[in-house]
Amino acid sequence: MLRALELAATPGVPLGPNPRVGCVLLDADGQEVAEGFHRGAGAPHAEVVALAEAGDRARGTTAVVTLEPCNHTGRTGPCAQALVDAGVRRVVFAQPDTNPVAEGGGAALAAAGVEVEHGLRETEARAVNRVWTFAVDHGRPFVTWKFATTLDGRSAAADGTSRWVSSPEARRDTHRLRALADTMLVGTNTIDVDDPELTVRDELDQPVPQQPLRAVMGLRDLPATKRVFNDRAPSLHLRTRDPHEALAALYRQDRQHVFLEGGPTLAAAFLEAGLVDEVVAYVAPMLLGAGRNAVADLGIHTMADARQLEVTDVTVLPGTDTAHHTNVRITMRPSPAVEEEA
């Protein structure tokens, strides 16, 4: 299974919309016969790749797969049936497939007389497809809220200026994180005031080939001349102020990971709705004393009601010279108690 997990996590494989899957075929002595991994939507599934490599040698083998073989016909046929047709004797999979479209592969295999086991290294398999698993289990995209702040919690000065709270190194790191999502989401006010392009750019500040969807949320009409509507990436105007409606619309388009970069009002709306699953804060060694808060009023009036977050990572992003300050990236998630309430 460890080898199958390595295959599933092969660098360069798209993070969505399909899950990343690895498969290894073993003979009766536990020796590898063939292996394969899924290269993205429309490509053969991991099991099919391994079966094609094995040919007639697949008969009587054990298939070790990171995700339960699918049981539906989409762009490709059902993997469960392919394993049966190839004469595979036993299937061991790590993570059950709870996608209602594809689930049931294990039962189909067992009904065909194939020995089936599951649960081996399921935690590691879920980690390979963290976002996909969350989206399937919750019926909505995973939401990462990213913001930059001074030490006293300001995202802009009293005159509205915000360039630059974050350092060049932090901004480059932000582009790296943007590339891990399939959707950028901001509010109409951010587009009106800042006119961001919301593209992902590389180390040379050039757009990368694969761009996330640029989604703008709000009822306000926006000029077509705004940079978010240029031809460098797809764009979508979600005419709603309801975070639940926005995420439902994106999920219907098979979007699984929303990178929330809107202003304090939009952030507060998602937090109040319990729809923030990860927080990435870039903290600059600055003090402003006044200015725009990183998040708007959450209706909290006592310390006992404070939103609790669990720190999962702290990374120092040093400046390249004395003119560029150091930032600290703090990655957090809602505490278990908050997740249960949401």
Does domain 139-341 fall under CATH 3.40.430.10? My reply is yes
Q: What ranges do the domains of the chain cover?
A: 2-134, 139-341
Phi, psi of 193 (to 5 degrees): -85, -45
Check: CB of residue 169 under 8 Å from CB of residue 319. yes
The distance from CA 13 to its chain's CA centroid, rounded to whole angstroms, is: 14
- In eight-state DSSP terms, residue 85 is H
The CA distance from 129 to 298, in Å, is: 32
Does 234 sit behind a cis peptide bond, omega within 30 degrees of 0 on the bond before it? no
**And the tokens for 126?**
């879920």
Question: In this predicted structure, which of 33-42, 128-137, 199-208, 249-258 has the lowest mean pLDDT?
Answer: 199-208
Average pLDDT over residues 74-99: 92
User: Where is 90: in which H helix or E strand?
Assistant: strand 90-95
Q: Is residue 47 flagged as an active site residue?
A: yes
- Residue of 47, 68, 169, 278 marked active site: 47
| Residues in binding site for NADP(+) | 148, 164, 190, 194, 263-269
Check: CB of residue 93 under 8 Å from CB of residue 67. yes
- Predicted pLDDT of residue 100: 81
For the cut 90, the answer to whether the pLDDT of residue 342 exceeds it is: no
Q: Write down the mean pLDDT value for the chain.
A: 92
- Predicted pLDDT of residue 12: 85
Check: CB of residue 124 under 8 Å from CB of residue 4. no
pLDDT digits (tens, 9 = 90+) for 181-230: 999 999 999 999 889 999 998 887 788 888 999 999 999 999 999 999 99
For the cut 70, the answer to whether the pLDDT of residue 264 exceeds it is: yes
Which band of pLDDT confidence, cut at 50, 70 and 90, is reported for residue 321? low
| Residues in binding site for Zn(2+) | 45, 70, 79
- Tokens 């295959």 locate to 7
SS3 65: strand
For the cut 90, the answer to whether the pLDDT of residue 77 exceeds it is: no
For the cut 50, the answer to whether the pLDDT of residue 340 exceeds it is: no
Which band of pLDDT confidence, cut at 50, 70 and 90, is reported for residue 2? very high
* Topology (CATH) of 2-134: Cytidine Deaminase; domain 2 (3.40.140)
Per-residue CA distances from 291 to 2, 60, 305 (Å) = 51, 69, 24
| Residues in binding site | 45, 70, 79, 148, 162, 164, 178, 190, 194, 198, 201, 261, 263-269
Check: CB of residue 244 under 8 Å from CB of residue 110. no
The CA distance from 273 to 209, in Å, is: 34
- Tokens 């007639």 locate to 56
User: Where is 94: in which H helix or E strand?
Assistant: strand 90-95
For the cut 60, the answer to whether the pLDDT of residue 10 exceeds it is: yes
| Residues in binding site for substrate | 162, 178, 198, 201, 261
Radius of gyration of the chain (CA): 23
Which band of pLDDT confidence, cut at 50, 70 and 90, is reported for residue 325? confident
* pTM of the model as a whole: 0.88
